[in-house]
Amino acid sequence: MTYGFVVIFDRKPSQKGMRRQPRTSIYAQSVIPMSVVRIDDRYMAQRNVPDMLTLASKRLVIVGCGTIGGYLVEMLVKAGAGTAGGQLTLVDFDSLYPQNIGRHRLGFPNLFSNKATSMAEELQRLAPGANICARPVDVKTVDLGNVDLLIDTTGEESLGHWLCRRYLPTTPMLSVWVEGPGVAIRALLRTKGTGACYRCLCDASHKGQFTTIVGTMPMLLAGQGCEGLYVPFPASVSVQAASLGGEMVLAWANNRFSPSLRTKLIDTNYQLATPDCDPPRMDECVACTS
């Protein structure tokens, strides 16, 4: 922080017959301390990563503002998303319910409100200069337009396959998800035709290739009756998945695309099966060949 001082005094021009004020009277005047700090978007995003490009000017779309996406979009804004002519678009048709609060970025004030709209309002409050657009609709019903990077955080395999087939020919895509009941987190970046897409990786996993852990991934479901079944894991897993996604988005902005598949083991009772790598495209993938 830079400090400065302003001295305020009233000195009238000398007139014949009038006595000048003694110089010592200057010291009796008011002194107002002032501080100057930068609050521009560029400075706030760049100061933490001085040797890297930020997300300024990028057109980013994130599909899913749930347990991963809610934390990730905040990280993207802190990295410059939505500034310098860029735009951050949030797509989610779902609303926030009481059962979501335990591991979501939003809370009680947003209950029964659309997740995309509520997150956009929260981010606008935190970063008034950011250009953030909420689209509270099913992503299958809209045209996302020209996008620099499409980010899928829904964790829904079938939707991930659809997004690959619909947007991969023209749009780089990042998928981020949680494996099993918080056993591990994974993220896959597809930027060129020779690399695996999310559909490729799912097909390979079904064949025992590029698996997450040694052995079988455990299946654990909780919730009964009116609540419905869900996969339990703590909010800390969601934050770590969002952090992995944030790291890969910044790497993408700086043209660092490898390794395209990254995995972080959360539950140390298991052994990691596939180190970070660049899985190739599968020839039979219907999303890549469409």
The pLDDT tens digits for 55-89 are 999 999 999 999 999 999 999 999 999 999 999 99
Mean pLDDT of the chain: 91
Instruction: Grade residue 1 by pLDDT with cuts at 50, 70 and 90.
Output: very low
User: Domain for residue 22, yes or no?
Assistant: no
Q: What's the number of domains the chain is made of? A: 1
- The answer to whether 64 and 92 have CB atoms below 8 angstroms apart is yes
Q: What is the average pLDDT across 92-99?
A: 96
Quick check: 8 pLDDT over 80?
A: no
Residue, of 249 and 32, whose pLDDT is higher: 249
Percent of the chain with pLDDT over 90: 75
Please name which of 156, 154, 188, 153 lies closest in space to residue 172, comparing C-alpha atoms. Answer: 188
pLDDT at position 5 is 46
The pLDDT tens digits for 151-167 are 999 999 999 999 999 99
Instruction: Give the CATH number of the domain where residue 55 resides.
Output: 3.40.50.720
User: Domain for residue 97, yes or no?
Assistant: yes
The pLDDT tens digits for 27-63 are 777 888 888 888 888 888 899 899 999 999 999 999 9
Whole-number Å distance between alpha carbons of 263 and 179 = 10
User: Domain for residue 254, yes or no?
Assistant: yes
Whole-number Å distance between alpha carbons of 77 and 175 = 18
Q: What is the pTM of this model?
A: 0.88
Residue 248's domain comprises 41-289
The 10 Å Cβ neighbour count of residue 115 is: 27
User: Domain for residue 12, yes or no?
Assistant: no
User: Domain for residue 127, yes or no?
Assistant: yes
User: Domain for residue 152, yes or no?
Assistant: yes
User: Domain for residue 33, yes or no?
Assistant: no
User: Domain for residue 24, yes or no?
Assistant: no
pLDDT at position 20 is 61
Structure token digits, residue 34: 């002032």
